[in-house]
Structure 1
């Protein structure tokens, strides 16, 4: 109840005093002319004691002082630097506030919540000191500032509270009391206090953990400045939650320096706004004016420097002009986010939504700062959580977007590498086709035994080069997880013989003995991948020769065990070379790593051989092992279990598919479409040797004009040709009604072309360089099928 006329005030006080004296023996007549009558309120909820209080400037009254001289009635809470009734006081000084509170009867225990004051106080309740902050003094030397909230228990039976509050300030630009006293049911007030503290602690914890998370993301990621700026903003601004308003931090750390915390309170505000403006600039650099951000962080920097260098009296006055900066930022940031959203920037929808959650926070903060509304902590908490959650989504979307871009670039690079390797493979395979084909033709021309052995080595070396090309591509496939292992019949004995004979010259040039020992118990071919097996053995033998200067390299194949359908072989390559130290033995299986002796001065190579061998064996459920002593040599070995094939017969180095005196393709005319003269020569020699008639076209366009449906039984079509490639030529042939078999001749890998050739109507393919028996098999198959089809049509 406010009493604005003195005679009414005196009358009310007198009546109330008489009533209280009759009501209770422990009551005291109010000694104050400011009275708050709560006798008609239940106080089950909290009530603010924000009526008029007596105010005594430059007086520190004690509870025993009953004088009312020199007092004025002020609306509490009261900052004495504010102009009231044309009068204000300097911030530096001291004063006393007094009020009498009349309480209802038959009530529960009450709790009086006492806020902080500028900048120290003593509170007497019914002449007893119940709460204090800092040290109240009459000058700067005797006064010590401190802020912390307190509560005072009011037990049942007390119906009058005489409150006397001494306040002194010699530090801050404001003075007096900024928040009202609150009284109410103890449980209700305690619950409110705990809820307030809990909200602040939870929000602070969320911001700190979020900040630390984004710092980790920055350190372990691409070092995106946007992420580290938001992380720093979260960590710095978290102090604003726990170290201001309700000052929970001061309760957690009692007696913490007021001069430190007041600087942190202002610094975190100034630096926080600067960091957020820089964060927005890096988040959407094309949608924000850099000079605006520069202006914001320049002002923030100046204010922060002032906070560090000046006394609180001066830097605490900066809050009012800085509110204009905050208000501008509050309006400008949503404008930037709207522009970013309209331009489809990554995560702009989340930042735009977050800006709208921030508007209520700043509105509540400003209005509460001006003491126009309560703090509305729950609303602020929800808005803050929403803001940081949405900003986190925006950053996560940014990281995700960057990862998608990186993945796309990596995939494009992978595709480019794949295309390069495919093209390289094609270019190497094309001349290899001529080398292998001519070697087979020479073997067919009845060479002498010496010439035959040389041709066998030449043929094996060419095939080995082809295997190396294939393995480079396979290593690329291994990394991509796309490698496949063949399961065909192979002769391990023949493979090992070819490897040794192919590398025998290299061993002789270094004066080394290259020995091969094969267990006589090995009497069967096995089911496996001959290309992979040959590559592994070749890599191991070649590696042994390279790192051995004297002595020998011994290759052995031993039967470990065998059953009716399976056999386990141990394949070992032992040398007397430089050896490998124990600490370096693990490195030899890493790609591009070589761990030979430091004394070895020979060629080092690429370091891929052992790594490829190890991975190929792992794909076949085997493991490559190493035993080595530095200076004495190394032994590489592995065991592998195979399914048994047919028994091994005498080795036949001549792989001619048919008897040379027979002409199985006589009467068959084939259209050969090939632009490489050497490949034409090889295919033509084979096919004509088997009795076929060959017409040659050098490109797809020429093939369309040369094709004669009544003459040609089969079309052999190269895929990569000038003017018109094999794909388009086959497609046009099918459109014109050609039904004869079209077989692709290609240096590409089968996995690269199977889908494409099926789409254009090509029936089958032969991979170059091809073996004579493979060419014979495919042509024979389709020639027979074509003949049976024609005979069926005649019937």
Structure 2
């Protein structure tokens, strides 16, 4: 709140100083004569005071008046005087004002500036027409209204000015003049006018551009009605800057019809306040009283409608009741913003500060309208700029708040999606473990030929389902930015050879040739992530086999450049498959997308393989590219620079070779901790086939109770169980000093649980659905290492 107080004090100080600087100190007219012979002309001088007034007489220089003049205070409205000769003057009518000005014998070039009047005039200076607006007349038929700033230059040799000002009004509810005429040094008057025009033009341009900006923000944003209403309000109110007071627009476009401009002046005033009320309602809907705001806006729009329907004489009389409404708004709107600030609404401090600026601007406008103070244009300009800038901050804060909320929701949604996919992966992998495990068990029981074929189909389908689950999880992990890369030794040629060997059966089943061609210059291992490299090459080769009905698939590795420390390789997968049309080649790298829907139906798949490979390569500063011709085949390739890791080394041999036959685990007791009965059957059957004795616990607490250190040599532990999960059971065992190996059995991916199992003291992991050979090798390694 202290910032708000400081802001208010600064604004009031500026207002006070500017007002003090603009207080005129110069003579006033007496008995129709203004003596300026000793007055300095460093500033503009108002021609105020007692002027001669001739009611219902349009006197030209030299005309003899029909009646004696009256002395009246100038400027003022004749229909606002109490009485003249015992008579109250109407707004409609005409009159002549006269003033004699005495100037110094010698002076510089002077200029006389004439403002708008209600609502046409003709000014004579020393018997010559000097300035005019509209057409003065004694009848409404010959009368024409117009408002525009005019000036008249005075020669250096002139020592006396005789002003004759004819004013006529037959359209407005006010008659006469409320703004003073000025005289001053020509350059001072010119610069002063240019400053006024520059301020008005600058502020108008800022408002229009700001309004268009927020309108665009509404169109392309979240369609916030507060933003829309503020943009319309700003654009509407911009006319109030350029189309009134100084009437800069009338100077730019002097032929504008007065009947149009006067309606625009009042419509923008009435509608502007109504729009601002609605804007405040949508800005802080909980803090405003909707009935009050709707009533204010309704009255404002009703007044604006009256401007369109009725003649100026009638709608210009609405200004006084409207001022009462505006004063109420000047109190109520800051009250609403104060409530919003106290209740901690986003951006409310800026709203409250802006309302203070608006109060100052409107107070200046009202006091100037009533004739108590000068225009104070600089202070008004600063107030307007402060108001619209602070309101812009309010909306910017609102948009930022909305974006932040949307971001939090998106992050929460991503988190929920990740958790959902992880849960679904676990739930799918668990029954798949039973399907795959039982199928392998049946294959080892010497099934008939037809049964073997059926079991092969089951295993193939289960593996396909597992591949789909893995692809979805991988892409989700990439999108969430949770993918990480190792930087370790790998043999690219060996990886490619393993991929080709593993997919050789799939290629042979389709009757196509799968081959590997390597450059002899590849002699070194490189530093990268072997798992991700294998994943990319596997996706590309699998994709090529899937979309190649006949012919061949060739994997090639070529050296493009190499130095002592780096090597640039081109890895390509070429096929003689269906090919891809040029207009679809960019599309295939999008997620869940293939060249067309018929491809998906004909060949199957999620369409994630290429998208995953592309993102993995991009995260390693490489790019997956394609050269393809429809009906002839495709080449998918990427070029990547690797750091060398040294010369290729022979594969390390196991210290203990795994026996191929017999019961290698005879005499070994294993504690199996698993809550799923089918998974218990699968693991137990394999382990017993290999000679192991199995004890079963259905949760971590039971495992702690059944564990016999003198008997059990290994623990196979599921991670997700009721009562006590595998993590907690493993931690308790390690805290008790139990050091026997623990292998986790889980449907989670290794990357998801690696840190948690390490923290719990678990030695290794077997992912469900597991292959018998994998379980066999892990158990062998930890028992006989």
TM-score grouping bracket, smaller chain normalisation: 0.7 to 0.9
Structure 1 counterpart SS, 2:299: helix
Post-superposition offset of 1:283: 0.9
8 Å CA contact retained: 2:31, 2:50: no
After superposition, what is the alpha-carbon deviation per residue over 1:699-739, rounded to whole angstroms, capped at 9, x for unaligned?
11211211234544543321111222222323444555545
Structure 2 counterpart SS, 1:588: helix
Aligned to 2:89: 89
Aligned to 2:545: 541
Once residues 226 and 717 of structure 2 are traced to their aligned partners in structure 1, the CA distance between those partners, rounded to angstroms, is 57
Following superposition of structure 1 onto structure 2, how do residues 242-281 of structure 1 map, counting pairs within 5 Å? 242-281=242-281
Post-superposition offset of 1:373: 1.0
Once residues 68 and 44 of structure 1 are traced to their aligned partners in structure 2, the CA distance between those partners, rounded to angstroms, is 40
Is the deviation greater in 164-173 or in 605-614? Answer: 605-614
Residues 478 and 709 of structure 1, relative CA distance in 2, 3 Å threshold: same
What is the TM-score with the length of structure 2 in the denominator? 0.84
Following superposition of structure 1 onto structure 2, how do residues 575-590 of structure 1 map, counting pairs within 5 Å? 575=577, 577=578, 581-590=581-590
After superposition, what is the alpha-carbon deviation per residue over 1:307-356, rounded to whole angstroms, capped at 9, x for unaligned?
01111111111111111111111111111111212222221111111111
Residues 53 and 603 of structure 1, relative CA distance in 2, 3 Å threshold: same
Once residues 189 and 619 of structure 1 are traced to their aligned partners in structure 2, the CA distance between those partners, rounded to angstroms, is 67
Structure 1 counterpart SS, 2:167: strand
After superposition, what is the alpha-carbon deviation per residue over 1:256-302, rounded to whole angstroms, capped at 9, x for unaligned?
11111000000001111111111111111111122112211221222
What is the RMSD of the two structures over their aligned residues, measured on CA atoms?
Answer: 3.7
Following superposition of structure 1 onto structure 2, how do residues 294-693 of structure 1 map, counting pairs within 5 Å? 294-437=294-437, 462-463=462-463, 465-484=465-484, 488=490, 490-502=494-506, 507=510, 513-519=511-517, 528=530, 529-545=533-549, 552-558=550-556, 560=558, 568-575=570-577, 577=578, 581-596=581-596, 602=602, 606-616=606-616, 618=618, 621-629=622-630, 632-638=631-637, 658-660=658-660, 669-684=669-684, 693=693
Aligned to 1:209: 209
8 Å CA contact retained: 2:360, 2:383: yes
Aligned to 2:5: none
8 Å CA contact retained: 2:672, 2:715: yes
Once residues 518 and 602 of structure 2 are traced to their aligned partners in structure 1, the CA distance between those partners, rounded to angstroms, is 36
Counterpart selection for 1:39 from 33, 37, 40: 37
After superposition, what is the alpha-carbon deviation per residue over 1:743-773, rounded to whole angstroms, capped at 9, x for unaligned?
4322212332234334444455343344566
Aligned to 1:28: none
Once residues 141 and 337 of structure 1 are traced to their aligned partners in structure 2, the CA distance between those partners, rounded to angstroms, is 51
Residues 416 and 219 of structure 1, relative CA distance in 2, 3 Å threshold: same
After superposition, what is the alpha-carbon deviation per residue over 1:124-153, rounded to whole angstroms, capped at 9, x for unaligned?
111121111111112122121111112222
Aligned to 1:78: 76
Segments of 5+ residues of structure 2 without an aligned counterpart are: 1-28
After superposition, what is the alpha-carbon deviation per residue over 1:138-196, rounded to whole angstroms, capped at 9, x for unaligned?
21221211111122222333222111101111111111111011222333322322222
Structure 1 counterpart SS, 2:156: coil
8 Å CA contact retained: 1:541, 1:553: no
Residues 161 and 376 of structure 1, relative CA distance in 2, 3 Å threshold: same
8 Å CA contact retained: 1:719, 1:746: yes
Aligned to 1:159: 159
8 Å CA contact retained: 1:727, 1:760: yes
Post-superposition offset of 1:501: 2.2
Post-superposition offset of 1:558: 4.1
Residues 697 and 161 of structure 1, relative CA distance in 2, 3 Å threshold: same
Following superposition of structure 1 onto structure 2, how do residues 742-761 of structure 1 map, counting pairs within 5 Å? 742-761=742-761
Once residues 645 and 76 of structure 1 are traced to their aligned partners in structure 2, the CA distance between those partners, rounded to angstroms, is 104
Is the deviation greater in 120-129 or in 239-248? Answer: 120-129
Once residues 575 and 462 of structure 2 are traced to their aligned partners in structure 1, the CA distance between those partners, rounded to angstroms, is 23
Once residues 349 and 82 of structure 1 are traced to their aligned partners in structure 2, the CA distance between those partners, rounded to angstroms, is 43
Once residues 540 and 442 of structure 2 are traced to their aligned partners in structure 1, the CA distance between those partners, rounded to angstroms, is 29
Structure 1 counterpart SS, 2:695: strand
8 Å CA contact retained: 1:687, 1:694: yes
8 Å CA contact retained: 1:56, 1:72: yes
Once residues 682 and 297 of structure 2 are traced to their aligned partners in structure 1, the CA distance between those partners, rounded to angstroms, is 77
Post-superposition offset of 1:220: 1.1
8 Å CA contact retained: 1:138, 1:168: yes
Aligned to 2:25: none
Structure 2 counterpart SS, 1:81: helix
Is the deviation greater in 618-627 or in 315-324? Answer: 618-627
Residues 608 and 662 of structure 1, relative CA distance in 2, 3 Å threshold: closer
Aligned to 1:703: 703
8 Å CA contact retained: 2:519, 2:558: no
8 Å CA contact retained: 2:97, 2:166: yes
Work out whether 1:169 is the aligned partner of 2:173: no
8 Å CA contact retained: 1:125, 1:163: yes
Once residues 605 and 496 of structure 2 are traced to their aligned partners in structure 1, the CA distance between those partners, rounded to angstroms, is 27
Q: Paired residues, what number?
A: 734
Segments of 5+ residues of structure 1 without an aligned counterpart are: 1-30, 508-512, 546-551, 786-795
Once residues 605 and 741 of structure 1 are traced to their aligned partners in structure 2, the CA distance between those partners, rounded to angstroms, is 39
Once residues 563 and 198 of structure 1 are traced to their aligned partners in structure 2, the CA distance between those partners, rounded to angstroms, is 65
8 Å CA contact retained: 1:34, 1:99: yes
Is the deviation greater in 192-201 or in 220-229? Answer: 192-201
Once residues 492 and 587 of structure 1 are traced to their aligned partners in structure 2, the CA distance between those partners, rounded to angstroms, is 27
8 Å CA contact retained: 2:98, 2:165: yes
8 Å CA contact retained: 1:50, 1:76: yes
Once residues 88 and 428 of structure 1 are traced to their aligned partners in structure 2, the CA distance between those partners, rounded to angstroms, is 96
Once residues 453 and 558 of structure 1 are traced to their aligned partners in structure 2, the CA distance between those partners, rounded to angstroms, is 33
Aligned to 1:63: 61
Post-superposition offset of 1:430: 2.4
Post-superposition offset of 1:228: 0.9
Once residues 661 and 596 of structure 2 are traced to their aligned partners in structure 1, the CA distance between those partners, rounded to angstroms, is 55
Structure 1 counterpart SS, 2:180: coil
Structure of greater Rg: 1
Once residues 600 and 739 of structure 1 are traced to their aligned partners in structure 2, the CA distance between those partners, rounded to angstroms, is 51
Once residues 502 and 454 of structure 1 are traced to their aligned partners in structure 2, the CA distance between those partners, rounded to angstroms, is 17
Post-superposition offset of 1:239: 0.3
Post-superposition offset of 1:698: 1.1
8 Å CA contact retained: 2:539, 2:610: no
Residues 357 and 640 of structure 1, relative CA distance in 2, 3 Å threshold: closer
8 Å CA contact retained: 1:539, 1:613: no
Is the deviation greater in 530-539 or in 75-84? Answer: 530-539
Residues 471 and 298 of structure 1, relative CA distance in 2, 3 Å threshold: same
Aligned to 1:17: none
Residues 703 and 402 of structure 1, relative CA distance in 2, 3 Å threshold: same
8 Å CA contact retained: 1:53, 1:97: yes
Residues 292 and 492 of structure 1, relative CA distance in 2, 3 Å threshold: same
8 Å CA contact retained: 1:540, 1:610: no
Structure 2 counterpart SS, 1:173: coil
Post-superposition offset of 1:625: 1.5
